[in-house]
């Protein structure tokens, strides 16, 4: 009996080792498309790093344990193990972000509100998103027009060159907002919302009274910003700190996006996966967490107040709004404060981020 126990333990150890190596091999094979898609040099770098780390590890083991062993075999074995491990560490975040996009998608609401006399459909929007989301929104807008709704749009209106420049500098660090959104959409494999509202251009020309840009101007935003800078100490401190950080470490988002666009097709695909995953996580976090940004007092709260004023003053009783989803809670609160009868009648959630659709690769037969 005693003589059989070591054999049993050795066999179990071998089995466990074989299983672990099998899992490691599978992980490495799954990692290869990500690594090679990013760059062949990345795989080469991982191999070199694994060899060096394994050499260091075997050297340390040889120095401390001083036992006769096949160090060359150990070095090769540890090199493979480290290569498999490092490859998995590099590729795992990409798979994770792809999974987040599919399993925990970013959603925006379409909410119908009423006070008994007036009906408001609030369609939450997102500056960049999937094509089918924007097509669905445009279809709903056309349907609303046929039912006698007046359409309210989001869109800060340009005013003076100084105010326009101030807004771009404050929000994006100096880059034009439209340009930034288009670049972001290109990298993420998503679309820019303004490209789809052009489908309503003919109706805008024929029935301009049914289309209202219900937003403030850049000058109004700047005036509110200046007012808060002189009256709100907390706001002023936060904005001064933001300006200092922008000077010491200016944002390089647009440059980074431009760099990614120059990559190969596969590199752009990987960048899109990462971009959509990060965007999904950011949007979901923004929905679940209370924002502590002082700039929201201008970008959200001030505009919410102006929008609520227009909605309450609007003589027509059916309004369809396309506005950033983050504006909905604040606008509803203001409406309800003015008239407690305001309540939601229905809500529908719509997905905004997903893999880009390529119908050219599909066949109906």
Give residue-wise pLDDT tens across range 55-88: 898 888 777 766 555 677 888 899 999 999 999 9
- Report the pLDDT value the prediction gives residue 114, as an integer from 0 to 100: 97
Give, rounded to a whole angstrom, the gap between the first and last alpha carbons of the chain: 67
Please say whether the beta carbons of 102 and 84 come within 8 A. Answer: no
The answer, yes or no, to whether residue 5 has pLDDT greater than 60, is no
- Report the pLDDT value the prediction gives residue 252, as an integer from 0 to 100: 53
Residue 34, class by beta-carbon neighbours within 10 Å (0-12 exposed, 13-18 middle, 19+ buried)?
Answer: buried
Give pairs for 299-306: CB < 8 Å, separation 24+: 299/171, 299/221, 300/326, 300/327, 300/330, 301/330, 302/216, 302/220, 302/221, 302/224, 303/156, 303/215, 303/216, 303/221, 303/327, 304/330, 304/331, 304/334, 305/334, 306/214, 306/215, 306/216, 306/220
Residues 6+ apart with CB under 8 A from 273: 94, 97, 98, 101
- Report the pLDDT value the prediction gives residue 358, as an integer from 0 to 100: 56
- Report the pLDDT value the prediction gives residue 359, as an integer from 0 to 100: 45
- Report the pLDDT value the prediction gives residue 263, as an integer from 0 to 100: 76
The answer, yes or no, to whether residue 54 has pLDDT greater than 70, is yes
- Report the pLDDT value the prediction gives residue 107, as an integer from 0 to 100: 93
Give residue-wise pLDDT tens across range 312-351: 999 999 999 999 999 999 999 999 999 999 999 999 999 9
**In the chain, helix, strand, coil percent, each to 5?**
70, 10, 20
Q: What is the pTM of this model?
A: 0.82
Band the pLDDT of 309: cuts 50, 70, 90: very high
Q: What are phi and psi of 70, to 5 degrees?
A: -85, 85
Q: What average pLDDT does range 254-267 have in this prediction? A: 70
Residues 6+ apart with CB under 8 A from 323: 122, 123, 124, 125, 152, 153, 154, 214, 307, 331
| Least confident stretch, 39-43, 195-199, 314-318 | 195-199
Give residue-wise pLDDT tens across range 98-144: 999 999 999 999 999 999 999 999 999 999 999 999 999 999 999 99
- Report the pLDDT value the prediction gives residue 146, as an integer from 0 to 100: 95
The answer, yes or no, to whether residue 91 has pLDDT greater than 90, is yes
Of 64-68, 94-98, 177-181, 292-296, the range with the highest mean pLDDT is 94-98
Q: Any idea which residue has 């401190």 for tokens? A: 237
Helix, strand, or coil here: 192?
Answer: strand
Give residue-wise pLDDT tens across range 147-179: 999 999 999 999 999 999 999 888 766 677 788
More confident residue, 95 or 58: 95
More confident residue, 184 or 120: 120
Question: DSSP secondary structure string, 118-162?
Answer: -EEEEEEE-SEE-HHHHHHHHHHHHHHHHTTPEEEE--PBP--HH
The Cα–Cα gap between 247 and 14 comes to 59
Name beta bridge partners: 129: 191
């Amino acid at each position: 009996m005693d003589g059989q126990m070591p054999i049993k333990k050795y066999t179990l150890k071998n089995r466990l080792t074989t299983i672990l190596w099998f899992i490691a091999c599978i992980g490495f094979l799954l990692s290869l498309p990500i690594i090679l898609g990013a760059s062949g040099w990345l795989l080469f770098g991982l191999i070199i790093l694994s060899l060096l780390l394994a050499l260091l590890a075997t050297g340390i083991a040889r120095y401390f344990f001083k036992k006769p062993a096949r160090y060359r075999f150990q070095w090769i074995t540890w090199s493979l193990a480290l290569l498999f491990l490092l490859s998995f560490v590099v590729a795992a975040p990409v798979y994770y972000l792809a999974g987040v996009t599919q399993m925990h998608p970013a959603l925006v609401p379409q909410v119908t509100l009423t006070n008994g006399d007036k009906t408001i459909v609030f369609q939450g929007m997102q500056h960049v998103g999937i094509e089918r989301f924007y097509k669905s929104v445009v279809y709903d807008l056309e349907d609303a027009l046929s039912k006698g709704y007046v359409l309210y749009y989001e869109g800060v209106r340009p005013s003076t060159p100084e105010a326009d420049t101030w807004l771009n500098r404050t929000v994006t660090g100096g880059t034009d907002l439209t340009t930034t959104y288009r670049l972001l959409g290109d990298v993420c494999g998503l679309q820019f919302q303004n490209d789809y509202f052009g489908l309503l251009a003919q109706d805008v020309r024929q029935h301009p009274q049914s289309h209202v840009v219900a937003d403030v101007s850049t000058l109004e935003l700047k005036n509110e910003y200046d007012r808060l800078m002189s009256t709100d100490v907390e706001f002023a401190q936060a904005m001064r700190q933001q300006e200092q950080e922008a000077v010491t470490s200016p944002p390089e988002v647009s440059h980074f996006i431009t760099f990614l666009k120059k990559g190969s097709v596969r590199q752009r695909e990987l960048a899109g996966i990462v971009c959509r995953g990060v965007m999904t996580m950011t949007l979901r976090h923004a929905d679940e967490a209370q924002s502590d940004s002082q700039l929201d007092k201008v970008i959200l709260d001030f505009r919410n107040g102006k929008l609520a004023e227009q909605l309450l003053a609007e003589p027509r009783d059916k309004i369809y709004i396309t506005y950033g989803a983050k504006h909905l809670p604040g606008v509803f609160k203001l409406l309800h404060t003015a008239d407690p009868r305001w309540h939601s009648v229905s809500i529908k959630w719509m997905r905004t981020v997903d893999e880009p659709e390529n119908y050219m690769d599909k066949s109906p037969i």
